[in-house]
Amino acid sequence: MPHITVDYSPQLADAFDRPGFVRELHPLVREWVASRGVCKTFFRPAAETWVDGSDGQVTAFVHIAIGLLPGRPEGLKARLSEEVLRLLDKHLRPVLGREVVRSAEVRDLAASYRLRTGW
């Protein structure tokens, strides 16, 4: 915990500094949620992306989902989402002729969540 997933339009691959983003993302999230746990981030380029009202060629997107153990106040989760979007903007260059829709959510992990490390 925290468990982070970043889905993004494949057209952004060269414009998105993923290593730089994750280097700053992990300490940011741990600080905001007072976690000593291991951050895990998965980057997933989507095979196809569609944004309502576009043809999929002009508009791209990035969505960041952060899963935490339950118990954090909703206000803290909303503020963390804003901070993550600010950080994303720092690591995502504009792409000529392409609008980029960016979103983030911080949610509670299901009660069934389990983590194992090591062998």
For 21-76, the pLDDT digits (tens) are: 999 999 999 999 998 888 999 999 998 877 776 665 678 899 999 999 999 999 99
What confidence score (pLDDT) does residue 54 get?
A: 63
Contact 51, 11 (CB under 8 A): no
| Cα distance between residue 61 and residue 26, in whole Å | 21
Domains in the chain, please, with CATH? 3-108 (3.30.429.10)
- Percent of the chain topping pLDDT 70: 96
From residue 18, give the alpha-carbon distance in Å to each of 56, 75, 99, 113. Answer: 22, 27, 19, 26
Give the predicted TM-score (pTM) of the model.
0.91
For 9-22, the pLDDT digits (tens) are: 998 999 999 999 99
**Residue of 26, 42, 38, 58 lying closest to 115 (CA atoms):** 38
